[in-house]
Amino acid sequence: MAEYAKEINRRRTFAIISHPDAGKTTLTEKFLLYGGAINLAGSVKGKATARHAVSDWMEIEKERGISVTSSVLQFEYDGYCINILDTPGHQDFSEDTYRTLMAADSAVMVIDASKGVEAQTRKLFKVCAMRHIPIFTFINKMDRDANDTFDLLDEVEKELGIATCPINWPIGSGKGFKGVYDREKDKVITFADTEKGTKEGTSLEISLSDEDTLLENLGQEAKDKLFDELELLDGAGAEFDLEEVRSGNLTPVFFGSALTNFGVEIFLRHFLDMATTPLPRKADIGLIDPVEQDFSAFVFKIQANMNKAHRDRIAFMRICSGKYDAAMEVKHVQGGRVMRLSQPQQIMADERKILSEAYAGDIIGVFDPGIFSIGDTICMPKESFQYEGIPTFAPEHFARVRQVDTMKRKQFVKGINQIAQEGAIQIFQELSTGLEEIIVGVVGVLQFEVLKYRLENEYNVEIKLEQLPYEHIRWIENKEEVDVQRLQGTSDMKKIQDLKGNPLLLFINQWSIGMTLERNEGLKLSEFGRN
């Protein structure tokens, strides 16, 4: 065991979250500059596809046979083995994006300094906060005119509800960007704009007490402003506390510019220092320790039809404990079967590399002949436990779905159920009328297109989608205590149920949710569904 403890302890597995265009791809590319990339899993490619309009994108996905991918990327730096989980944005934002966060031990949040906290960041942050994983903030694009630093921190605190602790402090922005003050070193590090694609440039490090050199490099105005701000900061900012960072209550904040490669390596170094090794994970028999326990993993994503000719599915697993060796037999707990995982791969968008071994913290993809479901546990044959399930995330777009040819009801129901089982869509029914009317909910609107395309191509069923105006869905947490039929909602509220008969409520806006809670004392609503 000790022999692989070292391998596990040098792993760091994190997701990057941001709103599109904040600089996630650029930052990732710079990280790779510092380490030898072992496996580039579509990050660079992701950047290209992300820029395509929906129609182009669909073409690309069609060629690939519909794979709404989030990719994984592995690289080495300073003795660490780092796994970055990419969370796709733009049109391909989907429930998978959220599920990917379930496989990470920490998150890096990239914020555009001129935009502050944006919609997609907010959504992804909520999921990280639910898991209490450490969140590291990189405020990017300081080489462009930025919002006031205190305002930015305030926004993160108020909008996201997490305390902030700036590790460095920016000096100006845009054309007047002079660098950062490193609070730990107690030194100013001057901005050096380096060529794209090269390592960090030669910055000066100037001690705060060296006023002449500071003046020379910053100018009077910037120097005075820095001193004023630092005084305010010492009085106001939260103290750094590693425990608070690790429990997700405090986010260390870094300022930099990914494009000019300023502040990236500093960030990476601090991040690796502060982030945790693969974390123990909750199972029905208690916490499973990554090092003490033999191999175990859980499925967090299923991707269908990467290869159109074979209609295969790939199940993505996060290894939670021990060492995986391709020759060994494992147990699929939910299926009750002992088996060898078929074609274990390091996952990349298009290319796949067959793996012989992997460790806790790593992500592998295996060929799935249709037996795995999201949340399933894989462990050693002699063991039998189940990891805590992955929640169902609130869809934000809803449509009523009908098949055009009523004779094809059977194929329609089969197809839509299979696609739902893969987790690409969620299906609901009217609370009163039952199965005849199917309502589909999706996290990203592109999933409607994917559903239509797949039903036509794989199940030969043409459908009509009628989009509904609802944007919010809530699970009823205390459904045993509530008589759903008698709930008093707003006039725009709709009562539905999922396939297991759990009641849910659809709303057009936040206001209606508030009103409904007000009108029904004791009602508890949740944005996450527990399976």
Which token pair is 161? 């509800």
- Give least dist CB 327 to ligand G4P, A: 38
Question: Footprint of ligand G4P on residues 45-84 (CB under 6 A)?
Answer: 47, 50
Could you say whether residue 259 binds ligand G4P (CB under 6 A)? yes
Could you say whether residue 144 binds ligand G4P (CB under 6 A)? yes
Per-residue buried b or exposed e for 103-142, using 16+ beta carbons within 10 Å of the residue's own CB: bbbbbbbbbbbebbbbebbebbbbbbbbeebbbbbbbbbb
Question: Footprint of ligand G4P on residues 8-47 (CB under 6 A)?
Answer: 18, 20-26, 47
Q: Which is nearer to ligand G4P, 71 or 140 (CB)?
A: 140
Which token pair is 57? 């994108």
The region of 136-144, 273-281, 298-306, 337-345 touching ligand G4P under the rule CB under 6 A is 136-144
Could you say whether residue 188 binds ligand G4P (CB under 6 A)? no
Q: Which is nearer to ligand G4P, 146 or 515 (CB)?
A: 146
Q: Give the DSSP per-residue string, 247-302.
A: TTSEEEEEE-BTTTTBSHHHHHHHHHHHSPSSPPEEETTEEEPTTTS--EEEEEEE
Q: Which is nearer to ligand G4P, 71 or 403 (CB)?
A: 71
Q: Among 97, 140, 217, 403, which residue interacts with ligand G4P (rule: CB under 6 A)?
A: 140
Ramachandran sector of residue 344 (left: φ over 0; alpha: ψ -120 to 50; beta: rest): beta
Could you say whether residue 131 binds ligand G4P (CB under 6 A)? no
Could you say whether residue 121 binds ligand G4P (CB under 6 A)? no
Closest to 61 in 3D by CA, of 20, 91, 105: 91
Could you say whether residue 143 binds ligand G4P (CB under 6 A)? yes
461 in Cβ contact with 455 (< 8 Å): yes
Could you say whether residue 527 binds ligand G4P (CB under 6 A)? no
Q: Among 67, 164, 173, 257, which residue interacts with ligand G4P (rule: CB under 6 A)?
A: 257
Q: Which is nearer to ligand G4P, 26 or 512 (CB)?
A: 26
How many residues interact with ligand G4P (rule CB under 6 A)? 18
How far is the C-alpha of 239 from the C-alpha of 233, rounded, in Å? 10
Which token pair is 203? 């910055």
How far is the C-alpha of 343 from the C-alpha of 89, rounded, in Å? 29
Q: Which is nearer to ligand G4P, 144 or 308 (CB)?
A: 144
CA distances to 244, 296, 318 from 133, rounded to whole Å, are: 10, 20, 16
The count of other CB atoms within 10 Å of the CB of residue 354 is: 9
Q: Which is nearer to ligand G4P, 143 or 458 (CB)?
A: 143
- Give least dist CB 170 to ligand G4P, A: 12
Query: Footprint of ligand G4P on this chain (CB under 6 A)?
Result: 18, 20-26, 47, 50, 89, 140-141, 143-144, 257-259
